[in-house]
Amino acid sequence: MDILSSEFVNQDAETRESPRNISSDNIEVLLQGASILSGGGGGNYDTALERYRSISPSPVNVKDLSDFCDDDTLVTVFGLGPVENQVDDQLSIASKSVRLFEERYSEVDGFVLGEVGPDLIVEAALAANELGAAVVDADVAGMRAVPSIQNEIIEATSISRTPLVATNGEDTLSIESGSGREIEARLRDLSTHDLWYVTGYANPPSDYSAAVQGWFDECVKFDRANISRLGEGRIYSIETTQSQGHSVGRIRIQGSENFEIFLLNENIIAFRDGEAISQAPDTICILDERGIGISNGNLPETGERVEIYELTYNFWQNAKCLNLESLGVQLQDGQIEFESGLTFEVSQYDG
């Protein structure tokens, strides 16, 4: 397959070039790219595409931070909870969180992605279409999806996350102060069993300079990532459970080599024949035979053929907000232990 080879990325380049908007003409390409960049999180490609098509919004402009006025208000909107917690009306819940934010705090001029993923692009596009706003070519997570708010690449900056409004469609919570860890704790208590949508991080464009810019082109071209193909095989087994508001588990893939991918919502560490070969903050993506990144909220059947890739970005080199330590994950003596206490034995192979 070798889906992310230069041959694939550059094939039919004219059709992969698109105007600076999100529309029915380019939504498939954007969501495919986002499914790869998200590393198992960020929503499911097929579901996100179906939701977009069911509403069929007008094209929405994608703007750089520099295109906005100094007094414009930019926000993020994102879902929070285990990746399995999908609901039929999640777009209406996302839209409600935006409306509540505007009612209580400020009009919104643009949407910065909370992370890169199929759901995030569709949610931002539909919210922008509803308000007559724009989507910003920047994200606060770092060109990927992340397990927790405190793993966002902006964690070490002074950008304000509050005020924010969270809702599950029925109940509502407003948070007006707090660190990433404090906000995370309050929201995780709510989202253990329900999917909640958050609108917040309201800041002028200049304050978003710490966000990573350029997700639009990256979804189409992958020209900023250092890409390594780790291998391929067939899904052998899947073990997942919900713990502390996250999906935790392991995916085993067998081929000429044996792979184990451990996940905490997103894929966080990969082993090949018992040896660790990749870990967060690098993105580990599992691709199906269509070249679509597999969502950990909608894992395939055993036996399906897949490829495994690693994507690395230079801007993550010195960041400490996303690694095994910050995720509360310990790798020791052939065991993976999660912060919740869940433990997995890493399979060992004779060699």
Domain layout of the chain by residue ranges: 6-220, 225-345
Fold of the domain spanning 6-220:
CV3147-like fold (3.40.1610)
Classify 90 as helix, strand or coil.
helix
Using the 8-state DSSP alphabet, how is residue 3 labeled? T
Q: What span, in angstroms and rounded, lies between the C-alpha atoms of 252 and 333?
A: 19
Has residue 210 got a pLDDT over 90?
A: no
Q: How does 215-232 read in b/e, with b if 16+ C-beta sit within 10 Å?
A: bbbbbbbbeebebeebbb
Class of 225-345 in CATH = mainly beta
pTM of the model: 0.91
Q: Could you give the CA distance from residue 140 to residue 273 in angstroms, rounded to a whole number?
A: 34
pLDDT tens-place string over residues 12-44:
444 455 579 999 999 999 999 999 999 999 999
Q: Do domains 6-220 and 225-345 have the same CATH topology?
A: no
pLDDT in tens, 272-314: 999 999 999 999 999 999 999 999 988 999 999 999 999 999 9
**Worst-scoring range by mean pLDDT, 77-91, 161-175, 235-249?**
77-91
Q: Are strands 266-272 and 212-213 parallel, antiparallel or unpaired?
A: unpaired
| Beta bridge partner(s), residue 102 | none
- Residue 15: closest CA among 29, 35, 31, 5: 29
Give me the chain's average pLDDT, please: 89
Span between the terminal Cα atoms of the chain, in Å: 26
- The encoded tokens of residue 192 equal 């253990």
CA nearest neighbour of 145 among 175, 178, 117? 117
